[in-house]
């Protein structure tokens, strides 16, 4: 039995989903490197960015579930609805959370400048994470990536 069969035969659907996540995270890190001209290892595990690892993970899950259990199975229906909800949330609430974090971080910077270091409790506050959601384009490319991964990894 080869390594492929050992890895994907253990739990095909789970391993395809994790592969979707890993490939998306590697691609996200590479895209960030091309844009920023420096490697940011946080991109390997961080949220936000191109492509959406959330989308890649849940769409590869749905495709793998459809291939493994059949597209008429309740498990495929569950995976497909789960994918829709996760992708909608990544573009909606999570994206808005990032936009709000940008505004709050800017306000904190301006307050600290105004106070000139007088209030140390404000200066001790950490910045809010701004990259938590996705644009529709990032979600779309993540979904396409997940579908491709789900289709190219053979059922074991």
The answer to which of 2-6, 121-125, 129-133, 138-142 has the lowest mean pLDDT is: 121-125
Calculate the average pLDDT of the chain: 86
Mark whether 14 and 77 lie in a shared domain: yes
**Residue 116: which domain range?**
93-132
Our count of domains for the chain comes to 2
Mark whether 13 and 38 lie in a shared domain: yes
pTM of the full predicted structure?
0.77
Reference 15, options 5, 24, 25; nearest CA is 5
pLDDT-derived band of residue 79, with 50, 70 and 90 as boundaries? very high
CA 91 to chain centre: 11
Mark whether 26 and 69 lie in a shared domain: yes
**The pair of three-digit structure tokens given for residue 75, joined into one six-digit string:** 């498990």
Query: pLDDT (tens digit, 9 = 90+) per residue, 40-62?
Result: 887 788 777 889 999 999 999 99
Mark whether 84 and 97 lie in a shared domain: no
pLDDT at 99: 75
Q: How far apart are CA 56 and CA 19, in angstroms?
A: 9
């Amino acid at each position: 039995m080869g390594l492929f069969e050992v890895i994907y035969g253990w739990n095909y659907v789970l391993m395809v989903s994790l592969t979707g996540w890993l490939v998306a995270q590697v691609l996200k890190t590479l895209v960030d490197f091309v844009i920023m001209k420096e490697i940011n290892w946080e991109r390997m595990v961080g949220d936000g960015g191109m492509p959406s690892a959330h989308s890649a993970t849940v769409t590869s899950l749905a495709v793998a579930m459809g291939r493994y259990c059949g597209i008429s199975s309740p498990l495929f229906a569950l995976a497909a609805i789960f994918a829709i909800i996760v992708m909608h949330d990544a573009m909606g609430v999570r994206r808005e959370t990032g936009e709000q974090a940008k505004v709050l971080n800017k306000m904190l910077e301006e307050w600290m400048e105004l106070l000139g270091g007088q209030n140390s409790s404000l200066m001790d506050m950490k910045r809010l994470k701004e990259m938590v959601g996705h644009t529709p384009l990032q979600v779309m490319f993540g979904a396409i990536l997940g579908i491709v991964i789900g289709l190219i990894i053979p059922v074991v």
